[in-house]
Structure 1
Amino acid sequence: MSDAMDPVKLMKQQVGKAAADRVKSGSIVGLGTGSTTAFAIQFLGDRIKSGELTDIKGVPTSFQASVLAKQYGIPLTTLDEVERIHIGIDGADEVDPAKNLIKGGGAAHTREKVVDSLAEEFIVVVDQSKIVDALGSTFPVPVEVLPMAIAPVMRALEKLGGKTDLRMGVNKDGPVITDQGNMVIDTKFESIANPPELEAILNNIPGVLENGIFVNVTDLVLIGEIKDGQPIVREM
């Protein structure tokens, strides 16, 4: 199947474009991580190139986001230099009916949480497969941990009822190392009855930097789906 005809890729492009279209000139934009957000970054670059968008600066959430932003001509800035982020665009691995998220499939959730939480409007771009009835039903919670604390943190997570898995690299021997130089423990919980509570409990374990449960951060979810072979975008 050629890219031009691949409905899933088309759908991700449409959702990315729908998010990029919401950015106004003069904005500081949080640039998320992942395949759907990558299309949003590309379309932002197109709008800048065409002159339709001016005076934009991006705050990247990962090395991937900063590489893409440079590639598509989006000027970058840092949190040291800006007082606010007007709009943030990012993906998610799960979205529940209350717009709570699990993020961190790309191991960038720590920086994503900092940037996405600061955004005055935070838009999540996903495809239909990421929508769940209950958080944690399909995806483990990624927990970013200081390397020296891996063993005690794993024990603490298991005490809380989590099944732990140190995330290993693909095409790389050994564990995944985050942009901050830490490791990720993917932790599967049977059910997450109270996402805000679990988020706080996990972050209170000594050695844990941040976890992938995002509560009360999301303003708008743009969902791509395929209807009768055509990609459409709906709002949640």
Structure 2
Amino acid sequence: MASLASSSSSINFLVHVPAAFNGIGTKRRSRGKTSSISVTHSSLADASALLQAAHYTVDTCIKSGMVIGLGSGHASGMAIQYLGRQLRAGVLEDIVGVPTSVASASEAAKAGVPMDKYQDCLQIDFAFDDADIIEEGTLSAIIGRQRPKDEESILLQQKSILNAAKKLAFMITQSQYKGDLDGSIPVLIQSLNWMQTAEEIDDLFLGDAEVWRRSSIGQASPLGGDFPLVTREGHNVLDVIFTSPIPSLAEVAESLDKVNGVVDHGVICKFPLVFLPPYAQQ
């Protein structure tokens, strides 16, 4: 369930405890166990509210000796900086960070947070991250809409690290917590026969979405332009751009999971949830 404080403000703090991710996984037509969750608000402006959420995440969820998944994005960057300050002050010790991207690794290096590379056998105690949007009620999330500057898609590494975490926190602004969802969902696909995969996805959401292959440079286009994005693993990224409201992220994820050629996607859902008391209201 979700509780929403009645306030006119701008920050939600969501904590998820994953059992396991349901993560996996064109022709462009012309046309567990659930306890509870706390969703809190602050009357501060977005930047200050995200800073408060970042501090709250570190103070509440991180203990000495933990292995921490370090997310990517504005709020995650502030959490990494604060984590470094707590380490230097001696409030925390023996922390190891596992970055989800080059950007988060750079932030951790500047903050003095010791790091390790992600491996399948690595046990991650807790991870925090930014999300593009959280679906009200179900608390499903979309990640990976934005491509970090000077980086290819980080979706695969990001979800692998979040998947490995025993606990997961998302930090978002109020505008990112909504019931009527729109916009795009990134889908990581095998580059071989990518067009066939894109056509199948296009058929799934015919009339409700357009499918574009993400480009590495230049303007976006249905086929990815002259320089389509290719990840270090050799994958392409499709953006499924919904022109109608997204009915259910869980249903979209389930449909994508069944498409041949889909490696992963940006939908995170089906998490058991754990209660975390909200930070003090302003």
Per the normalisation by structure 2, the TM-score is 0.68
Q: From the superposition, tell whether residues 116 and 211 of structure 1 become closer, same or farther in structure 2 (CA, over 3 Å).
A: same
Q: From the superposition, tell whether residues 233 and 174 of structure 1 become closer, same or farther in structure 2 (CA, over 3 Å).
A: farther
Q: Which has the higher helix share?
A: 1
SS of aligned partner of 1:186: strand
Which residue type is aligned with residue 105 of structure 1? R
Partner in structure 2 of residue 149 of structure 1: 193
Tell me which of 143, 156, 159 is aligned to 1:103.
Answer: 143
Shift of 1:36: 1.4
Q: From the superposition, tell whether residues 14 and 171 of structure 1 become closer, same or farther in structure 2 (CA, over 3 Å).
A: farther
Contact kept? 1:85, 1:120, Cα under 8 Å: yes
Tell me which of 190, 215, 222 is aligned to 1:168.
Answer: 215
Partner in structure 1 of residue 39 of structure 2: none
SS of aligned partner of 1:69: helix
% identical equivalent positions: 25
Q: From the superposition, tell whether residues 170 and 127 of structure 1 become closer, same or farther in structure 2 (CA, over 3 Å).
A: farther
**Bigger radius of gyration:** 2
Contact kept? 1:123, 1:218, Cα under 8 Å: no
SS of aligned partner of 2:167: strand
- RMSD after superposition: 2.9
Partner in structure 2 of residue 228 of structure 1: none
Which residue type is aligned with residue 91 of structure 1? D
Rounded to whole Å, the distance in 2 between the matches of 1:52 and 1:213 is: 35
1:201 aligns with 2:245: no
Which residue type is aligned with residue 113 of structure 2? I
Partner in structure 1 of residue 239 of structure 2: 186
Per the normalisation by structure 1, the TM-score is 0.80
Q: How does 1:1-236 map to 2 (within 5 A)?
A: 7-22=45-60, 23-80=62-119, 83-97=122-136, 98-106=138-146, 107-134=153-180, 137-161=181-205, 162-169=209-216, 174-178=227-231, 180-189=233-242, 190-217=244-271, 219=273
Contact kept? 1:124, 1:218, Cα under 8 Å: no
How many residue pairs get matched?
Answer: 219
Rounded to whole Å, the distance in 2 between the matches of 1:170 and 1:21 is: 40
Mark the runs of 5 or more structure 2 residues left unpaired by the alignment. Answer: 1-43, 147-152, 220-225
Q: Which has the higher contact order (CA 8 A, sep 6+)?
A: 2
Contact kept? 2:143, 2:267, Cα under 8 Å: yes
Q: From the superposition, tell whether residues 218 and 170 of structure 1 become closer, same or farther in structure 2 (CA, over 3 Å).
A: farther
Q: From the superposition, tell whether residues 15 and 175 of structure 1 become closer, same or farther in structure 2 (CA, over 3 Å).
A: farther
Rounded to whole Å, the distance in 1 between the matches of 2:252 and 2:71 is: 24
Rounded to whole Å, the distance in 1 between the matches of 2:275 and 2:132 is: 12
